[in-house]
Structure 1
Amino acid sequence: MIPVDDLIALVRAYNPQTNEALIRAAYDFGREMHEGQFRRSGEAYFSHPVSVAAILTQQNLDDATIVTALLHDTIEDTKASYNEITTRFGADIADLVDGVTKLTNLQLSSTETKQAENFRKLFMAMSKDLRVILVKLADRLHNMRTIKAMRPEKQVQKARETMDIYAPLAGRMGMQWMREELEDLAFKVLNPEARNSIIRRFVTLRGETGDVIERITGDMRKELDAAGLNAQVLGRAKKPYSIWRKMEEKGQGFSRLSDIYGFRVIAGAEDECYRVLGVIHRRWRSVPGRFKDYISQPKSNGYRSIHTTVSGRDGKRVEVQIRTREMHEVAEAGVAAHWSYRDGEPAENRFAVDPARWIATLSEQFQSEEDHEDFLEAVKLEMYADKVFCFTPKGDVVKLPRGATPIDFAFAIHTRIGSACVGAKVDGMRVPLWTRIKNGQSVEIITAEGQDPQATWLDIATTGKAKTAIRRALREMDRERFIRLGRELARSGFEHVGKKATDKALETAARKLSLPDGDEVLARLGSAQLRVASVVEALYPELVDTPEGEAVRRDRAVIGLEQGQSFNRATCCQPLPGERIVGITWRGRGVVVHAIDCASLSHFDDQPERWVDLHWHSGRHAAIYPVTLDITLANDPGVLGRICTLIGEQKANISDLNFMDRKPDFYRIWVDAELRDAEHLHTLTSALEAEADVAALTRRRTIEESPPGAPGAPREGEAVGL
């Protein structure tokens, strides 16, 4: 464990004015609180917070962040409280420690919905003070460095979480060195064979070619000195995971991969960066399409540098990054450069991005997402994005992720332009909407009034913003369709009890059902999320029909079950009271009831031990058993309304309705009608078949796949128990 004096020395190296007493007090308090606690490796637990603090000193961070690192586990793992830390170290540090604690408690590797919600909380925590995530990233880095002490299954879970969330987040914040180390540590756990193979290849390559890095850096220094440029040249081999990812993306073996070395040239001033570029391109041949100028077009996290790839010795490609010292500091620290210190004062770096503005820009892209899955997709798309720069016809620059299409470009300009897009021109040429935009291209969007987003655009768009806008527009269009259908269903249901489905009645029903407004009631009716009977009952409970005499209870509807057994009606044959039935047992799922003539029963011929002799309880049953009717109707005005009315007149409730096929003269629908028994079904079908507008009518039954899987989820009112 690093002694307190050594830790203070690390901070004093870049901040001679550091509050030594504050750091010493935090060190002593943390060690006291963690006394008697040990890590899985057997080390004293407090060695972990000290190591996290040491990692943060490498980024020249302020005293508050260093103290937070020392205390970051005290609220969660010791008897220390938020109030005690506030009293001892101040509200600022207490809030930072509390923020790290909340991030630690997020289970980011859980289910998709939970993960999306945790991402929301993560961004909320980041928006309050970005130093919280800096401590958390350093915490994760040290945990990954010492991950061998954990159980194998825990190692895999943490490594996957690191690869999916923390590594790309570090990269998005501009801390590329941390991203690379986190990825490599996770790669070591998730695919050790591949990593070891790449390392062996490197050893072999070095034995065959010698120290390539030293030779190329020497060549570059010689050329720069000859041009009178005083610049620092640094070279390194790329990390195993970075090489493996390139091999996967390009489908190439190690021997065919060329750009496995990277070099950085640190120039004295911005104009010298371009002079260095000229010297390198004159000496070595540049590779077409591998040039990026992030000095004239910086990344949103403040990153500035010139990237170029050239053919070096023996035709080997090498990547060269050219930047100034200030740019290099931002490239190493990313957004964290805002808190960096130099000689006891906050470092004045004109390229460091304002963290508040950066996180606000990032968060506003996600805050409009209502759906958990959409939000998660938008976050990951943004986190992993590799930007390209293109131009509007007026010359304005638009940043998009690599692989973006004109659809993404249109929505990046404005949602209204994206929604009305009918075509695009790239560099003056008309192109399909699925065309991939390249760096430096000029894009013009062609719009038309009355155009709406198409569902196929979801497969074309790549940005979270475009996908969100498209989904929202599609949901609104679906909502309008559901409202129209719901209005027809409501009219039929209300007329059945002698009432009218007026706007006022629907608004009143919405209040009673705790829904926003009448349109929401109609939308839910049309999408089968709400039953007409429920709406009518909310307003006129005294008018809802009740059977004469006491109806058979749903949990007593089937006779022949053992005590405690539950049953579900099979969705393939939808048996009704009055029909002969048989049960099939399922381990942990009770009994599934089939009609005796159900074709799916043939799957169980060789399993007689699973068959149960059942029959329906005699007596009057409630109309709660859905049966699907396949109806072909004339495509004339008012026909659907009349059919819905007729079904209601037969005291059957429509629980779902789907349009299966539309033709100019006929359309086919599936109607789920809730019935009492087989006699009720016969009465309803007789009435429907008597209608001139009904061209065909059948009771829809299906055959389960062979062998059948676990029984499907029961519909509302179907799952019952004794």
Structure 2
Amino acid sequence: MESIEALSKKLSDYLKPSQIEQVHKAYEFAHEAHSGQFRTNGDPYVSHPIAVANILSSFHMDEDSLSAAMLHDVIEDCGVPKRIIEEKFNKNVADLVDGVSKLDQLDMASSAEVDAENFQKMILAMSNDMRVIVVKLADRLHNMRTIEFLEKDKQKRKAKETLEIYAPLAHRIGMNHVYRELEDRSFKVLYPTRYRRLRVALKKNRGNQKRLLNKIKRALEKKLVDQGIPAYVEGREKHTYSVYRKMKINKRSFEEIIDVSAFKVIVDNADNCYKTLGVVHNIFKPIEGRFKDYISIPKSNGYQSIHTGVIGLDGQPIEIQIKTSDMNEMAENGIASHWIYKMGERIETGPQQKARRWVSDLLELRDNFDTSKDFIESVKTNIFPDEIYVFTPEGKIIQLTAGSTAIDFAYAVHTDIGHHCRACRINRKLAPLSVPLESGQTIEILTEKLPQTSPAWLNFAVTSRARNSIRHYLSNLKKSEARKLGKKLLEQSLGSLNVKLRHLQKDKLTEALKAIGVKSLNKLLEEIGLGNRVGNVVARQIIGFLNQENSDKNSGLFLEITGTEGLVVNYGNCCKPIPGDSVIGHFTSGGLVVHQERCKNILPFRQDPAQCFPVYWHEELDREFSADIRIQAYDEPGLLATLASTITNSETNIESVQTLEIDIDHVEFNMTLQVKGRDHLASIMKKIRKLKNISSINRIHDQELREVSTIH
């Protein structure tokens, strides 16, 4: 257990005696408040606040942050009013403690809602003082370090929350050291077997690569000395969860993930970063497309470095990062770096300024959500997306999520620009608003005096800011305006199917509306006008219902899937439906997603006609679909070539192949094939089953079965 004396000794390296005295006073207050309370491991409870303060001291945080760390649980666990903390210490400390304290006496139906409200409270506190999140992350880090003392179900819940929210938050504000440890500790709790096997594999790889990595390091150091560039070179092994994530995303085994190690070159100034890049490329051959200059254009969390991929001495690709010592400290500690106060005014670093702007954007988005739960879900999916950098005509850099369009750009510049956008120029040439942007382009938005906001924009807007601004504007339209717009969109969609809305029989239309899950035509038109439903999908639902009398389908509303719907209809990656499967449609804001009826992800919505409805396949589909199969066989030379030949002779393309060695004699192939339907897939599987050495073959339906489960 850490002691207050040991902490005081660390603090004396950078704090004044009067500042250390305030931290001591906070400790004494916490010690008395938590008297008689114990941690689950049996230690006095006050050991936890000391540990949190100790973590903060490694970032050289100020005395108010350290005092808040000591007191962070006294409001929540001891019932001490915020007013008392302000009287005993100061307003900053009281606000920080309140910011990291959970709300009490919440009258809510689920723990998810409570967690969402507490998260929203923390975001509000962060908008006033960014130190709130630094204290909260230190608190969560120590809790994860001692998580083994909790009950198993509570361990899983805390680890999942940490992996989904707190680790990405640490990454988003540049605290990469904390981010990596939170991810690895969460991974260990959630997937202990995978974690253990991967750690063994990494340790073995480290031993095999040690001599080669040392040789590369010496070659770099010698060349830098020859060029007169003062530098420090160190090898860095990627953290466990990042390797696992790469295996999972790329569907590869550990042996196929070749760049698990990287080198970091620390130099004295930015000019030498670029000189070092030239030295590296003189020694090693650069890999095309693997160069990134984050010094000229930093990441959204303030991260700065030059990244380059090169071919190493053994022909294996390696990553080399080049940065200054200040950049390296920023990369590790983010907004916690250089937390300086001068004459009562904080001088914010780049990461701190970027983090504050991000929190301001979150607060702006919060007003567009009806519930805290919806807000937190949006934040979880948009904490750290891939990024592109584009320019305004004046040369200002605008940072956007990868895949963003001119609509996203317009709303990023200003909400009013977005609402009044009518067209755009990309590199001085007129272009559709729906075209995905690329880094380096210059975007000009052409506007109208009257708002142009359209529900159709939701089909290609990518960023949360744009999508929520569009929805918020549309939801504020008068109902009559929404109905007019919805009627126009539905009539256009029906018109493309040679049907007029006014010609539909009233009784049949009423039955169709009931099957869709709406009470009246006005309500349906309103939902289409507000962007809650897609006109094309609704039109085809109605037509499907009207045609059912001439069909031998079961009663109910069916939508026919033709395979030519484009962006309006998507197919669930979780279950990968193909023609011949029993399927069901799930209506989302982006259109229709088709799932297998057996899919677990659709079970919570199946009985809700507003979200799900029956669909069926068109008899003649002119396209191919992805299907996953698993083959187990006795291994022999040329087996994969035989399998590939059998499959391609069946007029089928192989999208991907993953090979896993089960034991010394047996091998498993996970393949993704392009098929026309179940009959086509069955024919292929029948041919494979007849091959020599095949012990089993089956189709993979569920997402869990696709995950990497074997590490060698």
Is the pair's TM-score, using the shorter chain for normalization, greater than 0.5?
yes
Partner residue in 1 for 2:365: 366
Q: What is the rounded CA distance, in whole Å, between the counterparts of 1:710 and 1:410 in structure 2?
A: 35
Q: What is the rounded CA distance, in whole Å, between the counterparts of 1:430 and 1:323 in structure 2?
A: 39
Deviation string, structure 1 residues 90-116 (Cα, Å, up to 9, x no partner): 333233222222379999996766655
Partner residue in 2 for 1:60: 60
Deviation string, structure 1 residues 613-635 (Cα, Å, up to 9, x no partner): xxxxxxxxxxxxxxxxxxx9994
Partner residue in 1 for 2:272: 272
Partner residue in 2 for 1:38: 38
Q: What is the rounded CA distance, in whole Å, between the counterparts of 2:359 and 2:13 in structure 1?
A: 33
Normalising by structure 1, we get a TM-score of 0.63
Partner residue in 2 for 1:353: 352
Deviation string, structure 1 residues 504-529 (Cα, Å, up to 9, x no partner): xxxxxxxxxxxxxxxxxxxxxxxxxx
Partner residue in 1 for 2:692: none
Deviation string, structure 1 residues 422-465 (Cα, Å, up to 9, x no partner): 77665678877655433324445677899955545434322111
Contact 2:302 2:334 in 1 (8 A): yes
One-letter code of the match for 2:13?
A: A
Partner residue in 1 for 2:210: 210
Partner residue in 2 for 1:311: 311
One-letter code of the match for 1:295?
A: I
Partner residue in 1 for 2:124: 124
Partner residue in 2 for 1:556: none
Deviation string, structure 1 residues 516-568 (Cα, Å, up to 9, x no partner): xxxxxxxxxxxxxxxxxxxxxxxxxxxxxxxxxxxxxxxxxxxxxxxxxxxxx
Q: What is the rounded CA distance, in whole Å, between the counterparts of 2:3 and 2:352 in structure 1?
A: 34
Q: What is the rounded CA distance, in whole Å, between the counterparts of 2:289 and 2:380 in structure 1?
A: 26
SS of the residue 1:321 aligns to: strand
SS of the residue 1:353 aligns to: helix
Worse overlay, 135-144 or 82-91? 82-91
* Matched length: 523
Deviation at 1:404?
Answer: 2.5
Contact 1:11 1:18 in 2 (8 A): no
Q: What is the rounded CA distance, in whole Å, between the counterparts of 2:142 and 2:219 in structure 1?
A: 37
- Asked if residue 178 in structure 1 is aligned to residue 175 in structure 2, the reply is no
Deviation at 1:89?
Answer: 2.6
Deviation at 1:395?
Answer: 3.8
Partner residue in 2 for 1:322: 322
Worse overlay, 403-412 or 192-201? 403-412
One-letter code of the match for 1:370?
A: F
SS of the residue 1:314 aligns to: coil
Q: What is the rounded CA distance, in whole Å, between the counterparts of 2:463 and 2:605 in structure 1?
A: 38
- Asked if residue 20 in structure 1 is aligned to residue 9 in structure 2, the reply is no
Deviation string, structure 1 residues 590-649 (Cα, Å, up to 9, x no partner): xxxxxxxxxxxxxxxxxxxxxxxxxxxxxxxxxxxxxxxxxx99949xx99xx99xxxxx
Does the C-alpha gap of structure 1 residues 133 and 413 become closer, same or farther in structure 2, counting only changes over 3 Å? Answer: closer
Partner residue in 2 for 1:166: 166
Does the C-alpha gap of structure 1 residues 5 and 215 become closer, same or farther in structure 2, counting only changes over 3 Å? Answer: farther
Contact 1:141 1:182 in 2 (8 A): yes
SS of the residue 2:437 aligns to: coil
Partner residue in 1 for 2:699: none
- Asked if residue 139 in structure 1 is aligned to residue 135 in structure 2, the reply is no
Kindly report which structure 2 residues correspond to 1:289-438, keeping only aligned pairs within 5 A, or say none: 289-337=289-337, 339=339, 351=350, 353-354=352-353, 357-358=356-357, 361-372=360-371, 375-392=375-392, 395-415=395-415, 418=418, 435-438=435-438
SS of the residue 2:302 aligns to: coil
Q: What is the rounded CA distance, in whole Å, between the counterparts of 2:227 and 2:474 in structure 1?
A: 60
Q: What is the rounded CA distance, in whole Å, between the counterparts of 1:206 and 1:668 in structure 2?
A: 58
What is the identity percentage for the equivalent residue pairs of Structure 1 and Structure 2? 39
Partner residue in 2 for 1:719: none
Contact 1:224 1:276 in 2 (8 A): yes
Contact 2:23 2:66 in 1 (8 A): yes
CA RMSD in angstroms comes to 4.6
Deviation at 1:7?
Answer: 0.4
Deviation string, structure 1 residues 652-690 (Cα, Å, up to 9, x no partner): xx974469999xxxx9999xxxxxxxxxxxxxxxxxxxx
Deviation string, structure 1 residues 559-593 (Cα, Å, up to 9, x no partner): xxxxxxxxxxxxxxxxxxxxxxxxxxxxxxxxxxx
Deviation at 1:20?
Answer: 3.0
Q: What is the rounded CA distance, in whole Å, between the counterparts of 2:109 and 2:212 in structure 1?
A: 41
Partner residue in 2 for 1:545: none
Q: What is the rounded CA distance, in whole Å, between the counterparts of 2:395 and 2:276 in structure 1?
A: 28
Deviation string, structure 1 residues 319-358 (Cα, Å, up to 9, x no partner): 222222222232222122252589x999978646348843
Contact 1:34 1:78 in 2 (8 A): yes
**Structure with the greater alpha carbon radius of gyration:** 1
Deviation string, structure 1 residues 389-442 (Cα, Å, up to 9, x no partner): 123455432211223334423432444554566776656788776554333244
Q: What is the rounded CA distance, in whole Å, between the counterparts of 2:393 and 2:42 in structure 1?
A: 64
Deviation at 1:304?
Answer: 2.3
Kindly report which structure 2 residues correspond to 1:684-695, keeping only aligned pairs within 5 A, or say none: none
SS of the residue 2:148 aligns to: helix
Partner residue in 2 for 1:244: 244
Kindly report which structure 2 residues correspond to 1:689-704, keeping only aligned pairs within 5 A, or say none: none
Does the C-alpha gap of structure 1 residues 270 and 251 become closer, same or farther in structure 2, counting only changes over 3 Å? Answer: same
Deviation at 1:15?
Answer: 3.0
Contact 1:419 1:451 in 2 (8 A): yes
Q: What is the rounded CA distance, in whole Å, between the counterparts of 2:233 and 2:108 in structure 1?
A: 40
Deviation string, structure 1 residues 212-258 (Cα, Å, up to 9, x no partner): 54443333222211110112223210111111112222232222223
Does the C-alpha gap of structure 1 residues 99 and 158 become closer, same or farther in structure 2, counting only changes over 3 Å? Answer: same
Does the C-alpha gap of structure 1 residues 433 and 713 become closer, same or farther in structure 2, counting only changes over 3 Å? Answer: closer
Does the C-alpha gap of structure 1 residues 109 and 434 become closer, same or farther in structure 2, counting only changes over 3 Å? Answer: farther
Worse overlay, 151-160 or 27-36? 27-36
Deviation at 1:73?
Answer: 1.5
Deviation at 1:146?
Answer: 0.8
Kindly report which structure 2 residues correspond to 1:549-568, keeping only aligned pairs within 5 A, or say none: none
Does the C-alpha gap of structure 1 residues 403 and 359 become closer, same or farther in structure 2, counting only changes over 3 Å? Answer: closer
Q: What is the rounded CA distance, in whole Å, between the counterparts of 1:51 and 1:709 in structure 2?
A: 42
Does the C-alpha gap of structure 1 residues 345 and 180 become closer, same or farther in structure 2, counting only changes over 3 Å? Answer: farther
Normalising by structure 2, we get a TM-score of 0.63
- Runs of 5+ unmatched residues, structure 1: 487-631, 645-653, 671-695, 716-722
Does the C-alpha gap of structure 1 residues 155 and 253 become closer, same or farther in structure 2, counting only changes over 3 Å? Answer: same
- Runs of 5+ unmatched residues, structure 2: 487-498, 511-517, 529-538, 543-548, 558-583, 585-596, 598-602, 611-712
One-letter code of the match for 2:220?
A: M
Deviation string, structure 1 residues 156-181 (Cα, Å, up to 9, x no partner): 10011101111111111111111111
Does the C-alpha gap of structure 1 residues 64 and 417 become closer, same or farther in structure 2, counting only changes over 3 Å? Answer: closer
Does the C-alpha gap of structure 1 residues 81 and 297 become closer, same or farther in structure 2, counting only changes over 3 Å? Answer: same
SS of the residue 1:333 aligns to: helix
SS of the residue 1:289 aligns to: coil
Contact 2:368 2:472 in 1 (8 A): no
Deviation at 1:9?
Answer: 1.0
Q: What is the rounded CA distance, in whole Å, between the counterparts of 1:369 and 1:223 in structure 2?
A: 56
Q: What is the rounded CA distance, in whole Å, between the counterparts of 1:359 and 1:635 in structure 2?
A: 49
Worse overlay, 15-24 or 1-10? 15-24
Contact 2:232 2:267 in 1 (8 A): yes
SS of the residue 2:230 aligns to: coil
Q: What is the rounded CA distance, in whole Å, between the counterparts of 1:5 and 1:107 in structure 2?
A: 42
Q: What is the rounded CA distance, in whole Å, between the counterparts of 2:272 and 2:108 in structure 1?
A: 45
Q: What is the rounded CA distance, in whole Å, between the counterparts of 1:711 and 1:208 in structure 2?
A: 52
Does the C-alpha gap of structure 1 residues 480 and 258 become closer, same or farther in structure 2, counting only changes over 3 Å? Answer: farther
One-letter code of the match for 1:38?
A: F
Deviation string, structure 1 residues 23-48 (Cα, Å, up to 9, x no partner): 22222332233232221112222211
Contact 1:108 1:115 in 2 (8 A): no
Q: What is the rounded CA distance, in whole Å, between the counterparts of 2:446 and 2:247 in structure 1?
A: 39
Q: What is the rounded CA distance, in whole Å, between the counterparts of 1:275 and 1:136 in structure 2?
A: 40
